[in-house]
Amino acid sequence: MTDIILYDYWRSSASYRVRIALNLKGVSYTAINTSLLDGDQKAPAYVARNPQGFVPMLCIDGHDLTQSLAIIDYLDAKYDDPPMVSSDPAERANTLAQALVIAADIHPVNNLRILKYLKAELGQDQEIIDTWYRHWIAEGFAALEALAPESGLFGGDQPNLADICLVPQMYNARRFDLDLQDFPRLVRIDAACNQREAFQKAAPEAVKDQ
């Protein structure tokens, strides 16, 4: 049994990103299902190791790593092939900016805990919550579409950090019935990424029952 353990939830976008990165780098790991619906992430033993009580958490080299982009950064430093960001400072900054459109601007306001708060604490109905969800994806995707290359992936011939962030967000967009016709470049990149085994093996339906 591998000593690399991923505390994971199949539908978590952040966990999805880390699964893709692990697969791209060929890193074997054991996944421990941590159900956000059942509240597994709030168990005292888990919170003692991850005070935010979020997924994913990657246990590797004696460390309990949290926050998906920080985990991917660690993996990129430890396993340098394939690289998730360029060694060129300007290209690295550009990739981080593209990735953060999703990881910092779209995803946080659409996180499950936010959606639950909108419903349980603020009394919003599901139609309003779904409209909220689609609005923030569409706003971020409009910017990301303008930043996307005319051909190839964000990473060119090979996926990079921006591609890793895009694919789970495209999954969410379809799940909430966002019309994607205004984002042809993002649709193209998503389709190309999902032709790769590393992305296919990380997909929610591929890991749901593991």
The 3-class secondary structure across 6-36, one letter per residue, is: EEECCCCHHHHHHHHHHHHCCCCCEEEECCC
pLDDT tens-digit map of 105-154: 999 999 888 999 999 999 999 999 999 999 999 999 999 999 999 999 99
* 210 occurs within a structural domain: no
**Are the C-beta atoms of 58 and 4 separated by less than 8 Å?**
yes
* 15 occurs within a structural domain: yes
Whether residue 118 sits in one domain with residue 21: no
User: How far does Cα 53 stand from its chain's mean position?
Assistant: 17
Contacts 24+ apart (CB under 8 A), 126-134: 130/176, 130/177, 133/172, 133/176, 134/173, 134/176, 134/177, 134/178
- Domain range for 148: 89-199
pLDDT at 2: 58
pLDDT at 37: 87
pLDDT tens-digit map of 50-91: 999 999 999 999 999 999 999 999 999 999 999 999 999 999
**What's the CATH code of the domain at 127?**
1.20.1050.10
> Can you tell me the distance from the alpha carbon of 109 to that of 115, in angstroms, rounded to the nearest whole number?
8
